[in-house]
Amino acid sequence: MYPWLDNRRFNSYSSYMTRTFGSRVQKISIDAGFSCPNRDGTISTGGCTFCRNDAFNPSYCHPEKSIRQQIEEGIEFHRRRYRRATSYLAYFQAFTNTHKPIDELEKLYREALSVPGIIGLVIGTRPDCINKEILDMLRSITMPTGPIILELGIESPYDTTLTRINRGHTFATARQGIELVHSYGFPCGAHLIFGLPGETRDMMLHTADIISELPLASVKFHQLQIFKDTKMAEEYLATPSEFHLFDLDDYIEFVIDFIERLNPDIVIERFAGEVPPRYLVSKPWLSLRYDQVLSLIERRLSERNTYQGKIYKK
């Protein structure tokens, strides 16, 4: 038994959800037609250099469909794939899902919560697109429903990296966003990318120390992948020597080194990203699915006799 009260060697999201709700809870992704302030001119029109959002959208997600239709199709899809799931979280995933007027946001969120089987929301957004007005509105709709989780794209704690990828905010903004969400009592998740240009292995490992100090409930890790039709693809094809793309074995060793330093209270939702190879300029990992990569990570954790937080220092 580890501090998270099961025998897996990391604080897993699936086990956390089962402990919290008594059974498997599955996310249902939604594309609600949001834009991004880094694309629509609010901050910039270029977007983050790595971003190709459609690479992560499930087949049932299309903004021309209603929220209810996407959820109902998503539930049916997951019932076939994960027969143990009995409850669902509506996951507002594509682009920046707090980047609309407050009354429109509330209408969308309430529509999702009205669908049978939905017990709560996961809202993906940017740390510079969350504020007290939005959180007050979310607080007003939480009482008769289940959890509302905010998931913030952090990507890196280094301002030099954030500038290079045209992120449009600093890490201080990310820290403030996480602390604000936490102050309202909402669980806050973070998204990080490993392998961004200019970052050394030591810098990436030190990221574990930095985020361990933040009031985060969960994290998602993605290895850098180069998507077609992005600014980063142009940079990569012009100067590939400036990029270090992890091969699978190296990534497994790195991510284990990383989680040894990670606060064991933080739930790990994902270790790596998975997208269809047709979207990639970079080479995929032998066409492995995420569950296969996870199995390799868990096997290596056992071989190394290590676990999340083994060398974490408060």
CATH number at residue 225: 3.20.20
In a domain, 2, yes or no: no
Q: Has residue 63 got a pLDDT over 90?
A: no
Q: From CA 158, how far away is CA 49, in angstroms rounded?
A: 16
Domain containing 209 equals 13-303
Q: Span 102-116, mean pLDDT?
A: 95
In a domain, 269, yes or no: yes
Indicate the helix (H) or strand (E) that contains 153: strand 148-155
Q: Which band of pLDDT confidence, cut at 50, 70 and 90, is reported for residue 25?
A: confident
The half-sphere exposure of 185 on its side-chain side, counting CA atoms within 13 A, is 7
Q: Give the pLDDT score at 120.
A: 93
- pLDDT for position 116: 92
131 domain-assigned: yes
Instruction: Give the pLDDT band of residue 17 (cuts 50, 70, 90).
Output: confident
pLDDT in tens, 165-197: 999 999 999 999 999 999 999 999 999 999 999
pLDDT at 147: 87
Q: Is the pLDDT of residue 210 over 90?
A: yes
Asked if 21 and 83 count as a contact pair (C-beta separation under 8 A), the reply is no
Confidence at 145, pLDDT banded by 50, 70, 90? low
Mean pLDDT in residue range 72-86: 79
* Average pLDDT of the residues in 248-254: 97
pLDDT > 70 in the chain, percent: 97
- Reported as half-sphere exposure (CB side, CA atoms, 13 A), residue 219 has a value of 30
Q: What is residue 77's predicted lDDT score, i.e. its pLDDT?
A: 83
pLDDT of residue 143: 53
pLDDT-based confidence at 142, cuts 50/70/90? confident
| Residue 122 pLDDT > 60 | yes
**Mean per-residue pLDDT, 298-305:** 98
Helix H or strand E segment including 269: strand 267-270
Tokens in use for 253? 């060793």
Q: What backbone torsions phi and psi does residue 275 show, to the nearest 5 degrees?
A: -135, 155
CA-to-CA separations, 297 to 192, 203, 263, 288, in angstroms, rounded: 18, 21, 18, 13
Position 22 scores a pLDDT of 80
**Which residue would you say has higher pLDDT here, 226 or 83?**
226
- In a domain? residue 177: yes
What count of other Cβ atoms lies within 10 Å of the Cβ of residue 74? 23
Residue 1 lies in a domain: no
Domain assignment of residue 312, yes or no: no
Position with higher pLDDT, 55 vs 126: 126
Domains contained in the chain, number: 1
Q: Does pLDDT of 55 surpass 90?
A: no
* pLDDT in the model for residue 287: 80
Could you tell me how far CA 265 lies from the centroid of its own chain? 17
Angstrom CA distances, 265 to 6, 47, 84, 150, stand at 13, 33, 26, 17
For the chain, the average pLDDT equals: 92
| Angstrom distances, CA of residue 108 to CA of 36, 102, 238, 263 | 17, 10, 42, 34
In a domain, 5, yes or no: no
17 in a structural domain = yes
